[in-house]
Amino acid sequence: MIKEKGKSIVSKKIIKILGDDFLEHTDAIAVEEPLQISISVLKGDSPITNKNISITMRTPGHDKDLAIGFLFTEGIIQASNQIKKVTHDENSINVHLINSENIDLGKLERHFYTSSSCGVCGKASIEAIKTICRLPPSAADFQIEKNLIKSFPGILKQEQNIFNNTGGIHAAALFSFKGELIAMREDVGRHNALDKIIGHLLTQNQLPLDYHLLFLSGRASFELIQKAAMAGIHFIMAVGAPSSLAVEMAVEHDITLIGFLNETRYNIYTGSKRIKI
């Protein structure tokens, strides 16, 4: 297997079977590697606390955004001005935080190992899973044309370079309420793809994202709705189905939730008021 440092795709020689034929073939495979996320809480320039927060299985690329988005959606930080600097090598990243009463050090013990398929694995309790949304509530009173929604799968498909080469990766995309693509990230972990977007927009001081639309390439699971709610997102679309807990959280946070979205159809589970039908 051929891999270059920091690359998102590797090449591997495989045998492909087509009918009764055996063919030698070089296949492109999405990279999955561990990333250790840690923090240092600083007083002046000196660390007063060093903590390993999580080991997450991710696709390399936008690791800084991933770490910052993870810290935000877990409720540990609330703004980019709490971050002094970020240091990063191939498979570990350390976020240096300015000491303040807004940094919730009590949440640090609940983070352990996070697989590419599970954004809540390793949490110590049920209460630890339900992170509290701290952003102020928003009216988010925009409406989207029903046919505009069906255009988003095609737009995302054109932008998914890693998926188009490997067929083995998730994506999250953020659109304006007018349908303009703002950001797109790919990762073997769907929760990582979303954290990468949220981290990027947090560093640009763009949160809350209450007048934006989120599109997910897979199913709409609880942890993705929770992360989106933390960022103030009120409109979520997914290629797959939502879970019951995802629907409950969407209702609780006044989120429009759409599932089974493709170029011809979709289901509206909550918040139909934001769609011009």
CATH code of the domain in which 99 resides: 3.10.20.10
User: Are residues 199 and 64 in contact, defined by beta-carbon separation less than 8 angstroms?
Assistant: yes
In total, how many domains does the chain have?
2
CA distance 113 to 116: 10
Q: What is the pTM of this model?
A: 0.87
Residue 131 or residue 25, greater confidence = 25
pLDDT exceeds 80 at position 256? yes
Mean pLDDT over residues 149-168, rounded? 91
Same domain, 120 and 233: no
Residues 84 and 157 in one domain: no
Residue 163, pLDDT score: 86
Contact present, 275 and 142 (Cβ < 8 Å): no
Question: If pLDDT is split at 50, 70 and 90, which confidence band does 120 have?
Answer: low
Q: Both 162 and 216 in a single domain?
A: yes
- What's the mean per-residue pLDDT of the chain? 86
Of 251, 250, 182, give the one whose Cα is nearest residue 215: 182
Cis peptide before 208 (omega within 30 of 0): yes
Per the CB < 8 A criterion, the answer to whether 123 and 114 are in contact is no
Do the domain assignments include residue 175?
yes
Asked if residue 148 and residue 78 are part of one domain, the reply reads: no
Residue-level pLDDT at 232? 93
Say yes or no: 163 and 223 in one domain.
yes
Residue, of 244 and 140, whose pLDDT is higher:
244
Q: Which residue has the higher pLDDT, 116 or 118?
A: 118
Give 102 or 184, the one with higher predicted confidence: 184
- 152 and 259 both lie in a single domain: yes
Is residue 84 domain-shared with residue 200, that is, in the same domain? no
Together in a domain, 122 and 151: no
Containing domain of residue 239, as a range?
144-276
Residue 272, domain member (yes or no): yes
* Percent of the residues in the chain that have a pLDDT greater than 70, as a whole number: 83
Among candidate residues 129, 155, 184, the one where a domain is terminated: 129
Domain end point (choices 68, 98, 129)? 129
| pLDDT reading at 139 higher than 50 | yes
> Does 6 map to a domain?
no
pLDDT top residue among 74 and 258: 258
Q: Give yes or no for a contact between 35 and 58, defined as CB atoms under 8 angstroms apart.
A: yes
Q: What is the CATH number of the domain that holds 201?
A: 3.40.140.10
In the prediction, which pLDDT does 137 show? 58
| Gap between the Cα atoms of 3 and 24, Å rounded | 19
Question: Given 129, 158, 191, which residue is the final one in a domain?
Answer: 129
Quick one: 223 and 102 in the same domain? Answer: no
169 & 253 share domain: yes
Q: Which of 129, 128, 123, 119 is nearest to 192 (CA)?
A: 119
- The pLDDT value recorded for residue 187 is 94
Residues labelled catalytic: 118
Each residue's pLDDT tens digit, 171-225: 999 999 999 999 999 999 999 999 999 999 999 999 999 899 999 999 999 999 9
Under the banding of pLDDT at 50, 70 and 90, the label for residue 4 is low
Rounded distance between C-alpha atoms, residue 52 and residue 92, angstroms: 10
pLDDT of residue 124: 45
